[in-house]
């Protein structure tokens, strides 16, 4: 009998999936960022649930308002990766009996804020007593199409919507009680407490019809590339590591490896996408039009390895990052 920490979150999900009856039509593979079923008129009903657990997912110093907003953002980021506009959010809220009225107000305001920032409304839910703060959000939207994890083809351009490493640096700063000049510190900490979902970018990408696959990077750049690879059955050569300036400065301050922060950090909500080369300019223009960035970082390969090119060296990008049950809580 193997226990959960040796299985890890992904094997647990595979185990559950193997025991479920399968619906007749599945517009998107199980294990993608969202679930979907066909609606009348060729549309898709798109659904997502993701849960925030106080003792696991809320770092020290994060307010309840920020935690609730983040719970909404976690779900919206998955919709963003598929290019689907979220319409409504429901929430199952588990509250310790010791919480105050003010705590509940902060949670309601955070949820409302996370949804409204992206045009969605909180329309229902449930509250229960629980031994820990639980915020299980459910997101719903309707789409004509969506960008799966499985569509990358060799020759496609690999791109991201922003630079990586700030959330990992911010988390290190918080958990290890480190310091940094105030402007830098604020940017790093904000990236942990106030993450952004790249919804405008995702919607622009689906409209540009240029993206062949997409995933959000909440489990880290490295893990997300591996997950994309697994579903697309391709590999990636990364020529340019999209390392955030602030993370670089922070790493220099303490002698950390900035690459580690960018690749293996997690809790970042950038999109990682593959783009048809003949539509690269369409994608770029669409994302720029909404005020976003699209940064070319590599290319999709037939070989299923994932390498980082550094000068004349090829460095393997490992499957390593945050994983529930496997990782220790203190590291998050």
Return the residue of 131, 154, 181, 277 that touches its own copies, per CB under 8 A: 131
Tell me whether strands 211-216 and 134-143 are parallel, antiparallel or unpaired: unpaired
Distance separating alpha carbons of residues 288 and 272, to the nearest angstrom = 16
Say whether residue 66 binds its own copies (CB under 8 A).
no
Rounded to an integer, what distance in angstroms lies between the CA atom of residue 46 and that of residue 143? 7
Look-up: residue for tokens 């996408």? Answer: 273
The span of 105-113, 167-175, 193-201, 212-220 binding its own copies (CB under 8 A) equals 105-113
116 contacts its own copies (rule: CB under 8 A): yes
Among 20, 60, 183, 255, binds its own copies (CB under 8 A): 20
DSSP element (H, E) containing 90: strand 88-95
Stretch binding its own copies (CB under 8 A), from 27-35, 153-161, 266-274, 306-314: 27-35
Lookup: tokens for 307: 């390498």
By CB under 8 A, residue 102 contacts its own copies: yes
State in angstroms the smallest separation of the CB of 22 from its own copies: 7
Name the DSSP class of 277: G
The residue within the footprint of its own copies, chosen from 39, 194, 252, 281 (CB under 8 A), is 39
Is residue 14 involved in binding its own copies (CB under 8 A)?
A: no
> Would you say 163 and 244 are in contact if contact means Cβ atoms under 8 Å apart?
yes
Q: Toward its own copies, which CB reaches closer, 19 or 312? A: 19
Q: Is 182 in the site for its own copies (CB under 8 A)?
A: no
Beta bridge partners of 71: none
Kindly report the backbone phi and psi dihedral angles of residue 117, in degrees, each rounded to the nearest multiple of 5, phi listed first.
-55, -25
Exactly one of 60, 128, 177, 278 binds its own copies (CB under 8 A); which one?
128
Which of 39, 68, 66, 290 has its CA nearest to residue 161?
290
Q: What is the Cα–Cα distance from 322 to 223, expressed in whole angstroms?
A: 8
CA–CA dist 279, 155 (Å, integer): 12
Instruction: Single out the residue of 105, 245, 257, 316 in contact with its own copies (rule: CB under 8 A).
Output: 105
Q: Is 218 in the site for its own copies (CB under 8 A)?
A: no
Among 63, 117, 142, 260, binds its own copies (CB under 8 A): 142
Instruction: Decide if residue 126 touches its own copies (CB under 8 A).
Output: yes
Nearer to its own copies, 113 or 249 (CB): 113
């Amino acid at each position: 009998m193997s226990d959960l920490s040796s299985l890890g979150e992904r094997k647990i999900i595979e185990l559950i999936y193997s025991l479920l009856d399968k619906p007749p039509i599945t517009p998107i593979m199980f294990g993608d960022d969202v679930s979907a079923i066909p609606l009348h008129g060729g549309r898709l009903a798109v659904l997502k649930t993701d849960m925030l657990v106080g003792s696991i997912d809320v770092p020290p110093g994060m307010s309840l308002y920020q935690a609730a907003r983040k719970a909404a953002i976690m779900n919206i980021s998955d919709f963003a990766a598929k290019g689907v506009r979220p319409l409504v959010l429901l929430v199952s809220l588990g509250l310790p009996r010791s919480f105050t009225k003010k705590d509940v107000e902060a949670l309601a305001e955070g949820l409302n804020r996370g949804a409204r920032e992206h045009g969605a409304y909180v329309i229902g839910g449930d509250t229960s007593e629980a031994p820990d703060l639980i915020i299980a959000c459910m997101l719903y939207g309707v789409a004509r199409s969506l960008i799966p994890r499985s569509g990358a083809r060799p020759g496609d351009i690999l791109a991201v919507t922003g630079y990586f490493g700030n959330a990992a640096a911010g988390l290190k700063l918080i958990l290890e009680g480190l310091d940094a000049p105030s402007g830098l510190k604020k940017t790093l900490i904000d990236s942990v407490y106030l993450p952004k979902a790249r919804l405008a970018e995702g919607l622009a990408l689906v409209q540009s019809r240029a993206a062949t696959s997409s995933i959000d990077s909440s489990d880290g750049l490295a893990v997300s590339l591996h997950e994309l690879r697994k579903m697309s059955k391709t590999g990636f050569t990364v020529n340019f590591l999209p390392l955030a300036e602030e993370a670089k400065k922070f790493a220099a301050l303490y002698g950390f490896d900035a690459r580690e922060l960018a690749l293996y950090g997690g809790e970042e909500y950038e999109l990682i996408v593959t783009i048809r080369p003949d539509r690269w300019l369409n994608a770029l223009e669409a994302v720029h039009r909404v005020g976003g960035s699209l940064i070319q970082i590599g290319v999709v390969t037939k070989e299923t390895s994932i390498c980082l090119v550094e000068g004349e060296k090829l460095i393997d990008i490992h499957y390593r990052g945050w994983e529930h049950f496997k990782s220790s809580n203190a590291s998050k």
